[in-house]
Amino acid sequence: MSSSLIRRTVILAALSTAVVSCEAPAQTTSEARTESAPKPAPSAGKEPKRAPFALTQASSLVAIGDLHGDLEQTRKVLRLSGAIDASDHWSGGKLVVVQTGDELDRGDDDRAVLDLIERLKTEAKRAGGAVIALSGNHELMNAVGDFRYVSPGSVAAFDSAGGRAAAFRPGGSYARMLAERPVLAQVGDTVFTHGGVLMKHVSYGLQRINDEVRGFLLGTREELTPMAMAEDGVVWTRAYSSESPACDELSKVLAALKAKRMVVGHTVQPQGVNAACDGRIYRIDVGLSRHYGGAVQALQIEHGQPKPLSASN
């Protein structure tokens, strides 16, 4: 995507209506129709960190799916996970939390959700734990100026950041925040991403994909790599989320990465957190936000053993 096209897209999106009644394909691909003070976004003078793809095994880990701008439900699932206390501060000790993207869009609270997760990243690190937040397709859609799923309340929330378009365009304050967030991560023997990892992504290089997305968000790379944003890109593919997942492909990917399982969000699972392919894939987008009306659920992996966590709304 050229710089001039990005500029035209941002301008058109800023002038268009921010709310739609149903989901339509993104400009670069197609999405199935299912669908204390906060830490400030990184300043233009500070280079965001490069997020590594591979991290060491965590003895206690919780994976959380799509949040879609719902602060109340985000707090509920973080408390369910043992990550925060009643004051929304980190209480998880050495717990590792992985959020698989799509904090943005649909709900009014997406700026508050982003800021909460950013603050918890700092608090968790001080306590010996970690919060690993990934970017999903909706984060990258905002970066290319596709605001069709933004609520009116969320548009207004970014007024103090110079407006949503300015905040998320490459090099903007919130785009630089997202630049610290990978689209892929492996913690020990578990691979995490929003949509899924295919062998074509492994061959291309998973750290390379992370680095190219980061460069685009910083404004130092002109195009957003199709390895992320194509229909079969890592934030868009639904190869493992359907009733007939691509188990053979998954086996090849996991063998290449020396991993036991993959965890993905992106596609709402009406039955809640579930596994397929003999436990090699876990699908954790439970439609948690009130936009979808799903349950408060997460996936716990304790000493290498996965199990769903559930709470009533």
DSSP conformational letter for 28: T
At 219-268, the pLDDT tens digits run: 999 999 999 999 999 999 999 999 999 999 999 999 999 999 999 999 99
Catalytic residues: 138
At 257-293, the pLDDT tens digits run: 999 999 999 999 999 999 999 999 999 999 999 999 9
| pLDDT above 70: residue 91 | yes
DSSP conformational letter for 160: G
pLDDT band at residue 216 under the 50/70/90 scheme: very high
Q: Please, where are the H alpha helices in the chain?
A: 3-15, 71-80, 110-126, 137-143, 152-157, 164-168, 173-179, 199-204, 206-218, 226-229, 247-257
pLDDT band at residue 58 under the 50/70/90 scheme: confident
Q: How far apart are the first and last CA of the chain?
A: 42
CA atoms in the 13 A half-sphere facing the CB of 144:
22
| pLDDT above 60: residue 313 | no
The DSSP-derived string for 85-152 is -TTS-B--TT-EEEE-S--SSSSTTHHHHHHHHHHHHHHHHHTT-EEEEPP-HHHHHHHTT--TT--H
Domain ranges of the chain: 3-20+51-311
pLDDT band at residue 54 under the 50/70/90 scheme: low
The highest-level CATH class for domain 3-20+51-311 is alpha beta
Rounded Cα–Cα distance for residues 89 and 80 (Å): 14
| Average pLDDT along the chain | 87
Q: For position 45, what pLDDT does the model report?
A: 54
pTM: 0.85
Rounded Cα–Cα distance for residues 230 and 239 (Å): 13
